[in-house]
Structure 1
Amino acid sequence: MAVSAQESSGMRQHGFFVDVVSLAHGEVSLASGPPRPEALESWELAVRKVYEQHMCRLEKQVVTADNKALETGLLVQDYCGQIQRQEEEKSELTSQVAVGQRELQSLREDMEATRKNYDGQLGMLTEHICTLSLHLSEKDASLAALQAHKVLCGRCGMWNAMGKLLAQPGNGTCQTCKEKVLSTG
């Protein structure tokens, strides 16, 4: 369908997009040369159609460029959103690392305090064991001295060692006469 220049501009004003303006072969040769006075109106119409055709192409290119710009803008917006989400995620991870480091530091401090407490308790227990060991040594020496004492049997006059008198088989009897020298109980 061929559309004249006047029809094309009228259609454009009403919101129609006319993308093809057809030129006859004669119109192309007429518009490409200088105007002749006898064909001035047809030359003007041919030139107008040529310009219309160029305008249609330019409009198509503008629409294509606008679509590409819109598409690129959407991609940029999407990329900005991704960057923002990654920044938020990075920030969240950074805060989690900071919390983890604080918890680790707190655990280290607790472990150090516990170690110091255990070292202090171990030192006190060692001192207490040394004191008990010393008391046991003193008691052992005292017991050895007591067991070394001798008791005189009143019946036979024999000296009996206290350790032997306290021992289980004798039960406080004299080793010689078997008379009760010491009461155990």
Structure 2
Amino acid sequence: MTNPFLSCLRWSVCLLVLPLFLAGMCGCRNKGTGTIPVVNLAEPAGWTKSSMEPLPPEDFGFSVAYQHESGLTLTLYQYSRGKRSIPTSLQTLEIQAQMNYAKEAIREMEHKGYLEIVSEQNSQVVLGESSQQALWSRFRLTMEGQSVLSDIYVWSKDNQFLKIRCSGLRGDDADRLALDPLLTSLGRPVTKNHVP
């Protein structure tokens, strides 16, 4: 004869454990999802920040959009693509590949006729006044007859890839004055006071 208390206990345990098991089977576990920012998501003067938006599940990350009163737009992407270990050296294939993916997206837009790439610059830069180095590419593009600049920054930190796309640039000192405080913040480690 079965004990009703033990039978009830078994069902309770099953009902509690089953959702956790299914979440694991569906890849819903926290496998480096990147939901906790590894950079300061501050909002310097003149900038407006959106909420964190999840990336597609296979990217394990989020994006945050920034809009400056001058018209500059910047989007930060933090993601791991499910990798548990991501090197920090900008010279590694993993980091170089992330920059190449971002550049390929622009080239694909040109291929589809949405824009024309006039020139491309590539370098390694420091983010604002921080000590964080990043790969950097600047594209001079023609879109609908207008010349525009588009910057891409890529680096990694705490086993997360970080990518910035910035548009609305004019290539002058006003851009630098607007961007430096935000790039500095994004290049610095998270502090307890800046966790969203």
Q: TM-score range by the shorter chain?
A: under 0.3
- Structure showing greater Rg: 1
TM, length-normalised to structure 2 = 0.19
Which structure: greater strand fraction? Answer: 2
* Bigger relative contact order, structure 1 or 2 (CA pairs below 8 A, ≥6 apart): 2
Which structure: greater helix fraction? Answer: 1
